Structure 1
Amino acid sequence: MLFKKIHSLKIIKINCLNIIRRISKNLNKIKRRHCILINIKNCLLMGNCHQNSIIPSICQHDQIKHEYYSQFTSYRKQISLVINKSKGSTQSLIEELSQKMIQYQQITHYYISFESEDFIYHLENLNNAFNQSNQIIELSLNFQRLSIKNNGLQKIGQCLSHCQKVKRLELCLGSNQFTYQGIQLLCNNITKLKLLERIFLELYINQLESDSVVDIGDAVAELPCLFSLKLDFSFNNVQFDGIQKFVNSINKSDKLQYLDLTLDVNNILDIGSLAFKQIEQKTQLTQLSLSLCSNNITNVDQLIDSISQLFNLYNLVIDLSYNPVSSSVDQLEIVKKLNNLKKLLIFKFKMRITANHRFAKKYIQSNFKKLVIMQFNS
């Protein structure tokens, strides 16, 4: 009954699982079919698709464009793979992955985790596969704790340089052995990805210094489509000059709206908070997360003053835990400085408790009327 009176159909969206079981019986009633979008992702994940014969019934009609249907079965367009010695030799696994990348050009999402240190000797195969697979949109590569040095990072960068259509990139490189020279080689290849919209770089515990942060900032400034940057630089040796130059570089990125910067356990002193002064120029920022735990910051006045100029912020997270912040600074004064942020919906602030902690909470509740989430603790 659903399609009996429909003679010309361009697009129909169906979300009810109780209805779609009867679709195949009535498809012949439609003389001109362009596409049908059926949200049966949950059904597919439960393994019921073969029992109710929905997929075979729909796909036998060649007028229906299959690419629209595949939007709701995204798991068919992605490959997730963990490469370690327990699952076979690294060489055979990388060769298998390379063959899939070349054979299945419609696959656009790759999530690959390397857990064997000898992967570096077989990256040539992967490099060739990336060179021939030019449809990748989302790419996540995990290389944590693999003792990667500069030459290894250069090979990884060469693989990335072939992904000209990638829009979302996640690169986990924590706890390795490369230096700022390796970061330079990596950044030279990242700048070639002109369609990048989101990037997450995890670089904790690599004995990196300020030069590396500057190189990443310069690379980001050359990505015209980037609007989301997440950078984890924990447990390194970043100082004032590196942060200052990094902020100056990202100011050149016109579309950047989301910035998540983690600088826990670095060598940031009092003057480090002044390094963020130029961030007040990024007025288009809507989400800002700064984690500066376990440094040597005692004064945050300039940092808060700069953030208070970001009038479009609706999500603000500041973590200053385990810093020797001066006792003369209390949360109430900080909150009052942020009173200009009229669009703020989410506010999370962490610092040690002071005498005015309760008053600060009351001030937030009475002045930030639109606030949806508030966390204000030590």
Structure 2
Amino acid sequence: MNNQEFFSKSDFQQTNSLSLDFIQAIQSQHEQTKFLDQLSQFQNLMNLTFELSENGLDSNFAKLLSEKTLQKNHKLAELHLYLSSNKLKSEGLQELSHGISTCPNLNTVTLNLIKNQIDDHGISEFGKSLSQLNSLQNLALDFSSNNIGDDGITQFCQSLVNCKNLNSAILRFSSNKIGNAGASAIINSLQSCSKINQLLIDLGNNILTDESLKDLAQEQIIYCNTSSFTLNVVQNSIGKKGCQYISKGINKMTNLEALILKFSHNDFGQTGMQDLIQGIAKCQKIKSLKLYFVNSQIEELGSYQLGQGLGKCINIEHLSLDLHNNAIGDDGAQQIGLGIQKCKNLRNITFYLVDKSVKYKGAMNVINSFKKGNKLIQILIGFEVKLTETQKNQIQRAISKIRKLVTKSVYLGK
């Protein structure tokens, strides 16, 4: 619904689903008041979605939103609030939390509060509101770029353990102040949610070390029903030991079909790669694999281990690799290609290897490895390779010879 339709609507009582987009549209107090007054007339909503990012909203707005809308729509089953880059702070989140806790039928909650100056107190109070939602099945939170530390996330997780009916949990806390204790609290709290099918944990750009992942390797941590798992720990201090822990944790996910690991800008190196890929190779149900290892000191030996491991992932249909700046070299690229060549069920591949150590020979070795992919229909490749026109044409011809290929996109550098 656009702004004009919203402010002219008259059948408030008959509407049970409402979706609004007001990015940068209600920045003045007058516009905010008008918006809240209009919204307050809807009292039979079952599905509410609105985008109110970048409007300078404060805790008073959150209080009125809670009182005039959330507390008057007890039938709400789905709530999606996108409130990034405002000024709600923890006081505003506490007001929203109170309103959310008054909606007992909520089964789906999405809350985006990126850049809202939320601290430990705010996330702790929000956790208490979630613990009162006995019907909650789907939870998607984005609290990136706030001021949340170990104390707040630990208290939040103490409440999260009560959400035992969760099927999907998306928890984004990148760019905060979370350390090992906070990461352990998240991992441990979710073990009580035995129904989780989809799990995403985003702790990129915090203050984690290897010990933050230790609990994943413990025997009691078993996400046995999880079919989709994403872990983002980019720009932390994860090394070889952390890779061992995540490898052991993945092995416990016996129903895993989709895996995304974002480990870029850590220093797990060659031996860490060996541990990671060996663990992944044991998960024979995986069909979709995405690995982001930018600037991770993999080098040629790590590339060899990666290729060996990929060659054992025989059921993979969708593969995405981002290996920027790892000093892989032509031989390393060839080893990865040889591993990919053994993935007989591969349907599409995205491969970014922007690495000055990889030359024409390495690029050709990778592309030639795709020729035996009987089911491959899509290729997206990126190489930072300085080539002559003749070499570019040879690469293009090599790709054109791949059987069944429907979509191709090749970036060959400058």
The TM-score normalised by the length of structure 2 is 0.69
Pick aligned residue for 1:322 from 344, 350, 355 = 355
Task: Provide the aligned length of Structure 1 versus Structure 2.
Answer: 323
1:242 corresponds to 2:242: no
Give the equivalent residue in structure 2 for 1:358.
393
Deviates more, 1:117-126 or 1:351-360: 117-126
Q: 1:317 is matched by which residue type in structure 2? A: T
1:152-175 deviation line (CA, Å, top 9, x unaligned): 222222222222211111111111
- Residue 100 of structure 1 is matched in structure 2 by 129
Partner of 1:110: 139
1:301 to 320, 324, 334: 334
Question: 1:202 maps to which residue?
Answer: 232
Residue-by-residue CA offset, 1:234-277 (whole Å, 9 max, x unaligned): 11112222212222222221211111111111212222221121
Q: Matched residue of 2:321: which SS? A: strand
Amino acid at match of 1:303: I
Residue of structure 2 equivalent to 1:281: 312
Aligned match of 1:122: 152
- Residues 104, 54 of structure 1: CA spacing in aligned structure 2 closer, same or farther, 3 A cutoff? closer
- Residues 128-277 of structure 1 aligned to structure 2 (within 5 Å): 128-188=158-218, 191-276=221-306, 277=308
Correspondence for 2:111: 81
Q: Give the superposition deviation at 1:120.
A: 2.8
Match of 2:370 in 1: 338
Give the structure 2 partner of residue 45 of structure 1: 19
Distance 1:209 1:89 in 2: 29
For structure 1, list consecutive stretches of 5 or more residues without a partner in the other structure. 1-39, 57-69
In structure 2, what is the Cα distance between the partners aligned to 1:222 and 1:323?
Answer: 38
Query: What is the distance in 2 between the residues matched to 1:359 and 1:130?
Result: 56
Change beyond 3 A, Cα 1:85–1:120: farther
Counterpart of 1:371, as a letter, is V
Structure 1 Cα separation of the partners of residues 324 and 165 of structure 2: 40
Residue identity opposite 2:404 in structure 1: K
How far the C-alpha of 1:122 sits from its partner, in A, is 3.5
Deviation track 1:89-112 (CA, whole Å, cap 9, x = no partner) reads 6425532x3343233222211122
The one-letter code of the counterpart of 2:138 is H
Say whether the 8 Å CA contact 2:120–2:149 is kept in structure 1: yes
- Are 1:367 and 2:364 matched, yes or no? no
Secondary structure at the counterpart of residue 204 of structure 1: coil
Contact 1:165 1:195 in 2 (8 A): yes
SS of the residue aligned with 1:374?
Answer: strand
Distance 1:370 1:99 in 2: 52
Q: Is the 8 A contact 1:98 1:126 kept in 2?
A: yes
| Percent identity (aligned) | 18
The gaps in structure 2 that reach 5 residues or longer are 1-14, 22-39, 47-75, 81-105
Give the secondary-structure state (helix, strand or coil) at the position aligned to 1:281.
Answer: coil
Tell me which residue corresponds to 1:27. none
Map of 2:412 onto structure 1? 377
State the Cα RMSD in Å: 3.3
Aligned amino acid, residue 399 of structure 2: I
- 8 Å CA contact 1:111–1:139 kept in 2: the answer is yes
DSSP-derived class of the 1:295 partner: coil
- The secondary structure found in structure 2 opposite 1:260 is strand
Post-superposition offset of 1:341: 0.3
Name the counterpart of 2:3: none
Name the residue aligned to 2:30.
Answer: none
The two structures have a TM-score, normalised by structure 1, of 0.75
Query: Which secondary structure state, in structure 1, belongs to the residue aligned with residue 311 of structure 2?
Result: helix
1:100–1:363: structure 2 CA closer, same or farther, 3 Å change rule?
same
Give a deviation string over 1:319-359, Cα, whole Å, max 9, x none.
1102312454443x432332110111111111114342222
**2:99: which partner in 1?**
none
- How far apart are residue 220 of structure 1 and its match? 0.5
CA distance in 2, matches of 1:233, 1:85: 23
- Corresponding residue SS for 1:156: helix
CA 1:330/1:232 → structure 2, altered by over 3 Å: closer, same or farther? Answer: closer
How far off its partner does 1:142 sit?
Answer: 1.8
State the partner residue of 1:28: none
- The answer to whether the Cα contact below 8 Å between 1:191 and 1:223 also exists between their aligned partners in 2 is no
CA–CA distance in structure 1, aligned partners of residues 386 and 209 of structure 2: 38
